[in-house]
Amino acid sequence: MGNTGRRYVLLAVSAALIGTGLGAAPDAMAARRLPSSGCVNDLPPKNPPRGPAAAPEIRFDLPYPKLLPMQEPAPRKPIVRIPSQQPPTRDKRCVDPCPDITDPKKPKPAGATGSLDTLSLAFPKITFKPKAINIPYAVPNPHPPKTPPPPPRVNPGADAAPPAAAPRTPRVKWVRWVSTLTGKGSTSRTDKRWQINGTDLGIMWEAKPGKIAVAFGDTFGEGFRPPGANGGDWRSNVIGFSSDDKLADGMSIDTMIQDKRCHAVQVIDARGVKYYEQTNIPTSGFAIGDRQFMTYMSVNSWGDIPGTWLTNYGGLAYSDDEGSTWTRAPHLRWDNVFGASQFQVASMVPEGDYVYLFGTPNSRLGSVGLARVRKDDVLNKTAYQYWRDGRWIPSRDANAASVLFGGPTGELSVRYNAGTKRWEMTYLDVVKGAIVLRTARKPQGTWSAPVQLVNSGQRHQLYGGFIHPWSKNRDLYFTLSQWSTYNVSLMHARVY
């Protein structure tokens, strides 16, 4: 259950609770609104302690080339997991579980007031630092891990699939911010419980009845400072689970996959080398029976222009142990030929006998294509059919798929709404600077005109927009990322 709805109750809590971290004097709390966690100790300090001013540094990097051999296939890394820490009880939710790990170190005391330490001027420090420019190249792995053989080739044939008439454009009555999902002051205190100080995306799917999986992208711990992705303890992706079905007051994350105390672990491995495989970012997820699936994009490098990047391929990973460990399917990937291939950024949705694959090229500027595969053949690339000109056809070329509608489209989130019998799709339109919503009667469309949910004037430097699977009736809940904070919020829209 979310904690945000209880934050105003704390205004009446006695000052005697200060020692537990649950309260403060009522007059002190009345002056400042509590964060989504409902915890006074998550408020920024009014007068943060300041140490002596550090001398400004002027640094000159001295670049030099460095050849970096990369073994292929990648060496297998040891997998370390511990049981997930369970959510705290209500009376302990504001107590830091690992203060020895997550609490910031106290600054050294400044000199006495009026001393030379505080009155003297610090002279700039000029440094020259060599900086390696890695030039990665592939070399054979002398001890390659065993790879299973590819699935047998099949011929799925062709089927007629005319589009349906477009439904009317959805109407958005209002959209409101609900709570902070990640970072300092978030509903589940991700900074204190899992060292998630900065992250993005928040891709959700129903892992099993009563349990939502939520996956995040590049994640940072100690040293994170907004805006943007930065800091120490970089993990390309992390995953948690939620049973919170009362979303109106926020979304609580119960547990995350961990490798040590108070630390969420990266679940899909990545090489971590720019211009080779800089990171692996989740793009969607779904479950079939006891198996979890997660689409991801292998990012070669982030672009210099905001909202652009180059992928190596779009792939699929799966887990048979409730999301603890993941295997990248070695024979199922959509290679990015000349940087212009379809299905690099994907959203996969099971419905009926099929799983539907919606995808765009890398970055946020392309258009949407569509494919499908029978649920039993998800890991067999030869079993996929691509929607082209009113038919499902087999093809070795993913670019054979027709464009469902023109771009720009960024980071799709798609689901089938059984209540309304409509397909729903949200994505970032970078030209409008807005997260928009479209609907359709069939996955192949015809898709409605887009309607704006939230724009960058309301939420600065926004992106993402991933639908919560438990949205129902006219209530659409979705996660929203902002580069300015580099964290994730839960949003609520009323849609007709």
In this predicted model, what pLDDT tens digit does every residue of 161-214 receive, in sequence order? 999 999 999 999 999 999 999 999 999 999 999 999 999 999 999 999 999 999
The per-residue pLDDT for 121 is 63
The CA-atom distances, in angstroms, between 402 and each of 76, 112, 358, 367 are 38, 71, 11, 10
8 A C-beta contact, residue 402 and residue 342: no
3-class DSSP state of 247: helix
Name the pLDDT band for 261 (thresholds 50, 70, 90).
very high
Q: Minimal CA–CA distance to 486: which of 273, 152, 256, 186?
A: 186
CB-CB contact of 66 with 52 (8 Å) = no
Q: Which residues, in sequence order, are bridge partners of residue 478?
A: 467, 491
Alpha carbon 328 to chain centroid distance? 18
Average pLDDT, the chain: 91
Question: Model confidence at 107, in pLDDT bands (50, 70, 90)?
Answer: low
Give the lowest-confidence range in 16-30, 43-57, 112-126, 399-413.
Answer: 16-30
pTM: 0.90
Contact 432, 451 (CB under 8 A): no
